C-alpha cells in the first residue's frame, strides 16, 4: 500500500473533538501521555470544566492513542498492512465511542471531589492516573515499562528505570512449586522466576482496578539516611513539606513519619483515618459521600507515574510499599507485598517484595484515592 495512502487514512481517522497529544517514553513505547489541563490535577484549586466537546474518557483516549502510535511504528518498520489494520480498528472504535456522545461525556469526577481531597492533602498536587487493564499487560508492556537495561534516552531525561538482577532468578521455594512437583510433571511445570511472580501479581491487581482512575500523591520522596528524613524534598530536611505528616503523627505519635511503618500498620491504622477525614469533608459540605477507597499506590501506577510524570522520584534510594500483594505460583497470597521506586536497584523499574509485617527503616509510602466506577 502506498505510504501517501496511509497518510491520508490517518488524516481522515484523527478525531477532531478531542485534543490529544501522544508522546512516547522511548522509541516504540505504547504508553501515550494525555495532555489535559486537569491532569495532573492541582487539588489546591477547583478543576477547570472540560470543554463541552470532550466526549472521550481518559482510558478511551489512551487506547485510541495507542492504536495510532503502534500503527506509526509498524509504518516505520515497513509493515504497511499491519498499520492499515490498526487505522481501521481506530476508526471503528472512534465511531462507536462518538455514537455515545450525550450519554457518557460527563466529567469522571465532579469538582467538589477535588475540593474535598484538597482539604485533606493540603493543596498537594495529585496525579490522575489510569490503572492499566489486565489484558493490556502484555510482554511488550513490561519490556517497555520495566526494561532489562537502562536506556540512554531515559538517562538523558533524568529517569532511572531497569529491572533489578533478581527479576530473572528462580523464586524462593516458599513461593513456587516443589522440585518434586516439577519432576512429576515431566517438564510441564517449572518453578516461577521472581519476575514472573511480580508480573502475575500486578496482573491480578489490575483485574480489580483496571480502567479505574486513581488520584495519586505526587510528593517528592527523599533519600533515606537514618529515618528522620521527611517527604517533600530530595534530602528530606524540611518538616513542613509533607501534607500527610499531621495525620501520620495523629495516628502513630509525634515522632512518626512515613518511614519504619509496616504495611499492616499503614493499611489498618492510617488508611482508615485518611478515609475518615475525606468523608468528614463531604459531610461538612453537605455533599453525599461517594464510594471510594484509600489505598497505597499500586506497583503498576507507581511505575507509570514515575516514568511519565515524575522521573525525579526514580533518583532517590527510598523504596515504597505498594498495595500489590505478591502471589505465590499457585495464585494464593504469600503475605508479602511489592515494593517500588528504589534508585539503586532500578528506580521506576525496581520491584522487590517484603512481608507485610516488616518494618525496615528505608520503606516509605504514597497514597492513592480511587472512586468507585
pLDDT tens readout for residues 336-359: 999 999 999 999 999 999 999 999
Same domain, 79 and 174: no
Residues 65, 199: one domain?
no
Largest CA distance in the chain: 69
193 and 57, same domain (yes or no): no
Whether residue 136 is found in the same domain as residue 62: no
pLDDT of residue 196 exceeding 60? yes
Does position 332 have pLDDT exceeding 50, yes or no?
Answer: yes
- pLDDT confidence of 247, banded at 50, 70, 90? very high
Q: What span, in angstroms and rounded, lies between the C-alpha atoms of 366 and 258?
A: 9
Cis, bond preceding 45 (omega within 30 deg of 0) = no
Distance CA 199, CA 188 (A): 20
Note whether 234 and 127 are same-domain residues: yes
pTM for the full predicted model: 0.74
Tell me what the pLDDT averaged over the chain comes to.
83
**58 and 125 belong to one structural domain:** no
Q: What is the mean pLDDT of residues 215-242?
A: 96
**pLDDT for residue 32:** 35
Q: Give percent of the chain above pLDDT 70.
A: 82
CA distance 41 to 196: 34
Question: According to the model, what pLDDT value does residue 108 have?
Answer: 66
Going by C-beta distance under 8 Å and a sequence separation of 6 or more, which residues neighbour residue 256? 248, 249
Query: Helix H segments across the chain?
Result: 3-13, 58-76, 80-98, 111-121, 139-145, 152-156, 179-184, 194-209, 245-252, 263-265, 271-284, 299-308
Look at 19 and 79; give whichever has higher pLDDT. 79
| Number of separate domains in the chain | 2
Using the 3D structure, point to which of 41, 71, 105 is the last residue of a domain: 105
Residues 162 and 293 placed together within one structural domain of the fold = yes
Whether residue 70 is found in the same domain as residue 152: no
Question: pLDDT at position 107, please?
Answer: 56
- Name the domain boundary from 84, 105, 126: 105
Nearest residue to 147 via CA among 170, 172, 167: 167
C-alpha cell belonging to residue 120: 485533606
Q: Which of 20-29, 51-60, 124-133, 151-160 has the lowest mean pLDDT?
A: 20-29
When mean pLDDT is compared across 21-25, 231-235, 285-289, the lowest value belongs to 21-25
Q: pLDDT tens, 66-106?
A: 888 888 888 888 888 888 788 778 877 777 776 654 444 44
**pLDDT higher than 60, residue 53:** no
Q: What integer is the mean pLDDT of 3-29? A: 38
Other CB atoms within 10 A of residue 272 CB: 12
Q: Is the dihedral of CA 361, 363, 367, 373 positive or negative?
A: negative
- CA pair distance 293, 368, nearest whole angstrom: 8
Both 46 and 192 in one domain: the answer is no
Sorting pLDDT into bands at 50, 70 and 90, what band is 39? very low
Q: Please tell me whether residues 167 and 243 are part of one structural domain.
A: yes
In a shared domain, residues 73 and 212: no
The pLDDT assigned to 5 comes to 39
- In a shared domain, residues 152 and 220: yes
**Three-class SS of residue 66?**
helix
Express each pLDDT in 255-309 by its tens digit.
Answer: 999 999 999 999 999 999 999 999 999 999 999 999 999 999 999 999 999 999 9
Q: State the residue range of the domain holding 96.
A: 3-105
Q: Tens digit of pLDDT for each residue in 155-181?
A: 999 999 999 999 999 999 999 998 888
Q: End of a domain among 40, 72, 105? A: 105
Amino acid at each position: 500500500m502506498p505510504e501517501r495512502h496511509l497518510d491520508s487514512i490517518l488524516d481522515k481517522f484523527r478525531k477532531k473533538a478531542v485534543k490529544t497529544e501522544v508522546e512516547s517514553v522511548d522509541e516504540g513505547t505504547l504508553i501515550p501521555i494525555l495532555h489535559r489541563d486537569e491532569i495532573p490535577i492541582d487539588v489546591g484549586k477547583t478543576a477547570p470544566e472540560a470543554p463541552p466537546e470532550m466526549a472521550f474518557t481518559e482510558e478511551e483516549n489512551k487506547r485510541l492513542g495507542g492504536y495510532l502510535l503502534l500503527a506509526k511504528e509498524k509504518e516505520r518498520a515497513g509493515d504497511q498492512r499491519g498499520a492499515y489494520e490498526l487505522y481501521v480498528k481506530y476508526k471503528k472504535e472512534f465511531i462507536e465511542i462518538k455514537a455515545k456522545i450525550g450519554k457518557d461525556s460527563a466529567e469522571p469526577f465532579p469538582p467538589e471531589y477535588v475540593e474535598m481531597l484538597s482539604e485533606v492533602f493540603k493543596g498537594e498536587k495529585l496525579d490522575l492516573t489510569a490503572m492499566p487493564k489486565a489484558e493490556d499487560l502484555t510482554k511488550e508492556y513490561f519490556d517497555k515499562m520495566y526494561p532489562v537495561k537502562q536506556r540512554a534516552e531515559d538517562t538523558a531525561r533524568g529517569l532511572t528505570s531497569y529491572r533489578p538482577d533478581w527479576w530473572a532468578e528462580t523464586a524462593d521455594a516458599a513461593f513456587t512449586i516443589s522440585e518434586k512437583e516439577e519432576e512429576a510433571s515431566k517438564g510441564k511445570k517449572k518453578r516461577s522466576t521472581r519476575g514472573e511472580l511480580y508480573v502475575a501479581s500486578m496482573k491480578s491487581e489490575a483485574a480489580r482496578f483496571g480502567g479505574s482512575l486513581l488520584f495519586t500523591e505526587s510528593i517528592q520522596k527523599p533519600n533515606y539516611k537514618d529515618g528522620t528524613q521527611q517527604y517533600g524534598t530530595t534530602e528530606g530536611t524540611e518538616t513542613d513539606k509533607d501534607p500527610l505528616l499531621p495525620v501520620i503523627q495523629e495516628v502513630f505519635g509525634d515522632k512518626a513519619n512515613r518511614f519504619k511503618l509496616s504495611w499492616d500498620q499503614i493499611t489498618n491504622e492510617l488508611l482508615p483515618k485518611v478515609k475518615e477525614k475525606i468523608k468528614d469533608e463531604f459531610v461538612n459540605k453537605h455533599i453525599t459521600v461517594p464510594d471510594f477507597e484509600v489505598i497505597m499506590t499500586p506497583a503498576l501506577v507507581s511505575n507509570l507515574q514515575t516514568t511519565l510524570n515524575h522521573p525525579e522520584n526514580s533518583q532517590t534510594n527510598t523504596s515504597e510499599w505498594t498495595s500489590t500483594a505478591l502471589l505465590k505460583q499457585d495464585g494464593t497470597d504469600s503475605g508479602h507485598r511489592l515494593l517500588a521506586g528504589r534508585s539503586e536497584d532500578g528506580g521506576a523499574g525496581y520491584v522487590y517484595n517484603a512481608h507485610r509485617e516488616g518494618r525496615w527503616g528505608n520503606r516509605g509510602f504514597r497514597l492513592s484515592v480511587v472512586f468507585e466506577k
